């Protein structure tokens, strides 16, 4: 129904308008009593064999909504309704921002990909975290087994650099710790006027040291999200910095500035211009990174695989390569919300075929 009917209609609209329309209609739909009784049972019912305790909390299933889809934490109910096992909200930034001018989101249909230069538009850390904390307090049942990650980034303003940039993250961190089950630090944010990011040993060291100074016992675990564009040597260096700072997990990966091997013609790409590429072209890189990191890291580190997952097979491949959890964004745009349930159903079938009593034992038997 999604690919034959809804997607063609949505794809006639500007991608950002389609996103707002789909999320608003979806939210209204999931609050209708009839939808509630029928579809909730089908899509957001728990899959008990897929439950895992990670980062100190229960995840009802391993499929999460990636950062950027629900920047202001307004769609938790819809995400749970779609069957997600957790969601990462944000990126939030210390100061609210309306982001870059539109258009800033583009479809590459031939590549099953998107390019975005949203520019970290969000309502600001204080307001988003307050919304999430209030929702968690008023509807605890919604978040039972459906953890909240909050992704923090630096305010989208090139004049905030150096120590001010670190203070900016610290402000967001202070709000995020009150509302989240885990916090992801997005290090692909420019930290100099020339656009150099925190994906540099010294810059990352300073950022994580700054955060260490404000961390308190009982704060949520902290993860770091990597770019797919760092080479393996740089990535090893960054991981070793993180490992010195009690980072408990990694999200691999963010969007890419690369444009290699795309089917979309060059002139179309030139017309779109700068932005982060997401979707199917990222998958091979995600898979390599997951396998490499899993081989390097202590087994208790949580690995979240993200980038190019648009089928149950791809999600299962990454889980079998050592990811504990997966996240999707662009796959949802191309495949629709049933992708979440399809991944979970396929996993359960595979586990059943192998007689695996839990996700971890299935991973152990196929890894
Ligand atoms: C429109 C859009 C906005 C995004 N915004 C953010 C963001 O604010 N913070 C972040 O860490 N990642 C952001 N991402 C990256 C996704 O979280 C994800 O890492 C990336 O899209 C790769 O996954 P995918 O191939 O499943 O889309 C965004 C992606 C898209 C498509």
Could you give the strand order of the β-sheet that contains 113-116, starting from the edge strand earlier in sequence?
A: 105-108, 113-116, 276-279
Cα–Cα distance, 106 to 109 (Å, whole number)? 9
> Measured from the CA of 328, which atom of ligand 1 is nearest?
26
Angle at 33 (CA atoms; ends 47, 64), nearest 5 degrees: 35
Per-residue pLDDT, 37: 54
Structural domain harbouring 167: 2-366
186 lines ligand 1 (CB under 6 A): yes
Q: Is the CB of 331 under 6 A from ligand 1?
A: yes
> Which pLDDT belongs to residue 38?
56
Mutation probe of ligand 1 site: the residue of 15, 19, 23, 67 with most atoms within 8 A of C-beta: 67
Question: Whole-angstrom Cα distance, residue 242 to residue 155?
Answer: 22
Task: List the one residue out of 253, 251, 225 whose CA is nearest residue 324.
Answer: 251
Task: Give the Å distance between the CA of 255 and the centre of ligand 1.
Answer: 6
Name which of 225, 163, 155, 223 is nearest 190 in CA terms.
155
Determine the distance separating the centroid of ligand 1 and the alpha carbon of 38, expressed in angstroms.
Answer: 31
Mutate which of 22, 329, 333 for ligand 1 pocket (most atoms within 8 A of beta carbon): 329
| Any ligand 1 atom below 6 A from CB of 328 | yes
CA of 113 relative to ligand 1 center, distance in Å = 11
**Residue 329 CA to ligand 1 centre (angstroms):** 7
- Residue 148 C-alpha to ligand 1 middle, in angstroms? 16
Q: Which atom of ligand 1 is nearest to 91's Cα? A: 8
CB 303 within 8 A of CB 321: no
Domain at 249, CATH number: 3.20.20.70
Give, in degrees to the nearest 5, the angle at Cα 72 between 67 and 76: 75
Query: How far apart, in whole angstroms, are the C-alpha atoms of residue 346 and residue 57?
Result: 24
Cβ-contact 277, 114 below 8 angstroms? yes
- Ligand 1 centroid to 306 CA: how many Å? 9
The finding on whether 66 has its CB within 6 A of some atom of ligand 1 is yes
Mutation to probe ligand 1, out of 113, 122, 228, 254 (largest number of atoms < 8 A from CB): 254
Is 179 a pocket residue for ligand 1 (Cβ < 6 Å)? Answer: no
Is residue 187 within 6 Å of ligand 1 at its C-beta? Answer: no
Number of domain units in the chain: 1
The pLDDT value given to residue 4: 94
Q: Look at residue 304 in the predicted model and tell me its pLDDT.
A: 98
For 325, which DSSP code?
A: E
For residue 103, which of 44, 160, 36, 19 has the smallest C-alpha distance? 19
Whole-number Å distance, alpha carbon 254 to ligand 1 midpoint, is 6
Strand partners, 276: 116
Which protein residue has the closest C-alpha to ligand 1 atom 30?
68
pLDDT tens for the chain, 367 residues: list them: 899 999 999 999 999 999 999 999 999 988 887 765 555 555 555 688 999 999 999 999 999 999 999 999 999 999 999 999 999 999 999 999 999 999 999 999 999 999 999 999 999 999 999 999 999 999 999 999 999 999 999 999 999 999 999 999 999 999 999 999 999 999 998 777 778 899 999 999 999 999 999 999 999 999 999 999 999 999 999 999 999 999 999 999 999 999 999 999 999 999 999 999 999 999 999 999 999 999 999 999 999 999 999 999 999 999 999 999 999 999 999 999 999 999 999 999 999 999 999 999 998 888 6
Contact (CB, 8 A) for 285 and 253: yes
* Ligand 1 pocket residue status of 152, Cβ below 6 Å: no
Q: Give the pLDDT confidence score for residue 195 in this predicted structure.
A: 80
Asked if residue 276 lies in contact with residue 319, where contact means CB atoms within 8 angstroms, the answer is: no
> What local confidence, expressed as pLDDT, does residue 238 receive?
98
d(CA 292, CA 232): 9
Q: Which atom of ligand 1 is least distant from the CA of 68?
A: 5
Site to probe by mutation for ligand 1, drawn from 66, 97, 307, 311 as the one with most ligand atoms within 8 Å of Cβ, is: 66
Ligand 1 site, residue 228, Cβ cutoff 6 A: no
DSSP state string for 78-126: HHHHTT-SEEEEEEE-SS-B--SPSP-EEEEGGGTEEEE-----BS-HH
Write the burial class of residue 37 (CB in 10 Å: 0-12 exposed, 13-18 middle, 19+ buried).
exposed
């Amino acid at each position: 129904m999604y690919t034959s009917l809804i997607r063609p209609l949505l794809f006639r609209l500007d991608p950002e308008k389609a996103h707002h329309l789909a999320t608003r209609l979806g939210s209204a739909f999931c609050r209708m009593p009839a939808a509630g009784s029928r579809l909730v049972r089908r899509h957001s019912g728990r899959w008990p064999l897929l439950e895992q305790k990670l980062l100190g909390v229960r995840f009802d299933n391993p499929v999460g909504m990636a950062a950027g889809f629900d920047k202001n934490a307004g769609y938790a109910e819809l995400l749970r309704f779609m069957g997600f096992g957790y969601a990462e909200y944000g990126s939030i930034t210390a100061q609210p921002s309306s982001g870059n001018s539109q258009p800033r989101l583009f479809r590459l249909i031939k590549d099953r990909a998107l390019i975005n230069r949203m520019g970290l538009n969000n309502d600001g850390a204080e307001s988003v975290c307050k919304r999430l904390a209030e929702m968690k307090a008023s509807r605890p049942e919604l978040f039972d087994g459906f953890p909240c990650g909050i992704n923090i980034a630096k305010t989208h303003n090139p004049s905030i650099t150096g120590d001010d940039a670190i203070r900016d993250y610290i402000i967001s961190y202070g709000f995020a710790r009150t509302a989240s089950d885990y916090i992801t630090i997005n290090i692909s944010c420019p930290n100099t006027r020339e656009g150099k990011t925190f994906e540099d040993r010294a810059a990352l060291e300073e950022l994580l040291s700054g955060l260490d100074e404000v961390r308190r016992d009982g704060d949520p675990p902290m993860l770091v999200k990597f770019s797919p564009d760092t080479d393996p040597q740089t990535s090893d260096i960054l991981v070793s910095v993180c490992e010195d700072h009690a980072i408990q997990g990694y999200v691999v990966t963010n969007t890419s500035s690369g444009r290699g091997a795309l089917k979309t013609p060059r002139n179309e790409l030139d017309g779109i211009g700068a932005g982060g590429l997401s979707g199917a072209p990222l998958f091979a890189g995600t898979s390599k990174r997951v396998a490499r990191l899993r081989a390097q890291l202590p087994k208790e580190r949580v690995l979240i695989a993200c980038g190019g997952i648009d089928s149950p097979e791809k999600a299962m491949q990454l889980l079998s390569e050592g990811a504990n959890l997966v996240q999707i964004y662009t796959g949802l745009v191309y495949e629709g919300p049933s992708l979440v349930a399809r991944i979970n159903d396929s996993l359960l079938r595979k586990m059943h075929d192998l007689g695996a009593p839990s996700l971890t034992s299935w991973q152990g038997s196929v890894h």
